Amino acid sequence: MIDVKNLHKSFGDKQVLCGIDEHIEKGEKVVIIGPSGSGKSTFLRCLNLLEVPTEGSVIFEGKDITKASGKELNVIRQKMGMVFQHFNLFPHLTIRRNITLAPVKLGIMTQEQADERAMELLKKVGLPEKAEQYPSQLSGGQKQRIAIVRSLAMNPDVMLFDEPTSALDPEMVREVLDFMKQLADDGMTMVVVTHEMGFAKEVGSRVMFMDEGKIMEQNTPREFFENPQNDRLKEFLSKVL
């Protein structure tokens, strides 16, 4: 589904990604962990060109998106849902309108179809009664679940998560992770940057460790956590487990 070839990203003199080659298959749940500043979020944001690579290519469903024009890129991005640390909901719109705005505006669905899809997704996430409320009336965990639902309303082929629980109070983390696990069980292709090691062990089909702009090691969750090979990974795991 996603092929990354010789991916570099620099901000001025600082090189953040150093020649990454990676392949992500349809249906995989790739979990990326690593210390702050290792390039995890930059790598994720390069996958849908929120950050434009300095060098290299990202091929999504057979198309090199680094060469796509603005209009073409917007169409491709509709197939790549993105969820951030902060929820980015429109405060002046109801939850239902937050979810239906993009599919209706882009002509993917009629308002009626979008409303139906919104209610279907709100039921799935256990929040149908919140449809006509505003973001300010929701808890952090509820807002993040709505942010995920908003991305799902576009019927994406892959979901990218950039530390989706790091801005939440600890007791709200579980409800978001449970919904992400449900998505994984439903077969959604996912690339998740997170500090939640339990989620990586339980949900990941593959866990990747990044440091200094490189993928230092990756493996199945069991091998990754029980039998790490890279010294830097061993040191990192000794501090977080």
Q: How confident is the model over 18-53, as pLDDT tens digits? A: 999 999 999 999 999 999 999 999 999 999 999 999
Distance CA 205, CA 187 (A): 11
Mean pLDDT in residue range 5-30 = 95
- Give the tokens for residue 83: 């969820």
Closest CA to 58 of 4, 116, 120: 4
pLDDT > 90? residue 56: yes
Q: Say what the pLDDT of residue 82 is.
A: 92
Q: How confident is the model over 132-155, as pLDDT tens digits? A: 999 999 999 999 999 999 999 999
Q: Say what the pLDDT of residue 86 is.
A: 86
Residues contacting residue 169 through CB under 8 Å, at least 6 positions apart:
140, 141
Q: Say what the pLDDT of residue 207 is.
A: 97
Helix ranges, the chain (H): 40-47, 70-77, 95-105, 111-124, 140-152, 170-185, 197-203, 221-226, 231-240
Q: Say what the pLDDT of residue 201 is.
A: 94
Helix (H, G, I), strand (E, B) or coil at 191: strand
Helix then strand then coil, in percent of the chain rounded to 5, is 40, 25, 35
pLDDT > 90? residue 17: yes
Q: How confident is the model over 183-203, as pLDDT tens digits? A: 999 999 999 999 999 999 999
Q: How confident is the model over 196-228, as pLDDT tens digits? A: 999 999 999 999 999 999 999 999 999 999 999
Distance of CA 103 to the CA centre of its chain: 19
Q: Say what the pLDDT of residue 156 is.
A: 94
Q: How confident is the model over 60-93, as pLDDT tens digits? A: 999 999 988 878 888 888 899 999 888 889 999 9
Q: How confident is the model at residue 57 (pLDDT cuts 50, 70, 90)?
A: very high
**pTM for the structure as a whole:** 0.93
pLDDT > 90? residue 171: no
Distance CA 198, CA 107 (A): 39
Q: How confident is the model over 92-123, as pLDDT tens digits? A: 999 999 999 999 998 999 999 999 999 999 99
Q: Say what the pLDDT of residue 69 is.
A: 82
Distance of CA 78 to the CA centre of its chain: 14
